[in-house]
Amino acid sequence: MKITSIEIAGFKALVKATGVYHLCLGAAALYRILLGLSSFGFSANYNWQHETAWAFFFFAVALALLFGTDTFCRLTFRPEALAAAKQNGSA
């Protein structure tokens, strides 16, 4: 099966968009932590450790996706397909 450079670029854009989404989720978790520390943000059963763990997870996933896009592309597509797509167009 022949893979075009457009498909590879689309896959890379999808991975980066997912990374940006997780970056936004991490920022939202940090915002909830800041609201929870204030007096008007949450009720008395607010669990800031839980929110901190999710924020750490979202930021870790975002970093892996944003900085490891090429690695995920090499894991997904065969190396000879990537080389052929680069010869046929810019990937």
DSSP state of 55: H
Contacts of residue 81, defined as CB under 8 A and 6 or more positions apart, other chains included, come to: 1, 2, 3
For the full predicted model, state whether its pTM sits above 0.85. Answer: no
pLDDT of residue 85: 66
Q: How far apart are CA 32 and CA 27, in angstroms?
A: 9
pLDDT of residue 62: 95
Q: How far apart are CA 33 and CA 20, in angstroms?
A: 20
Q: How far apart are CA 14 and CA 62, in angstroms?
A: 13
Count of CA atoms in the C-beta half-sphere (13 A) of 6: 0
**pLDDT string in tens for the chain (91-residue length):** 677 778 888 888 999 999 999 999 999 888 888 876 666 555 555 677 888 899 999 999 999 999 998 888 888 877 776 666 667 665 4
Contacts of residue 18, defined as CB under 8 A and 6 or more positions apart, other chains included, come to: 65
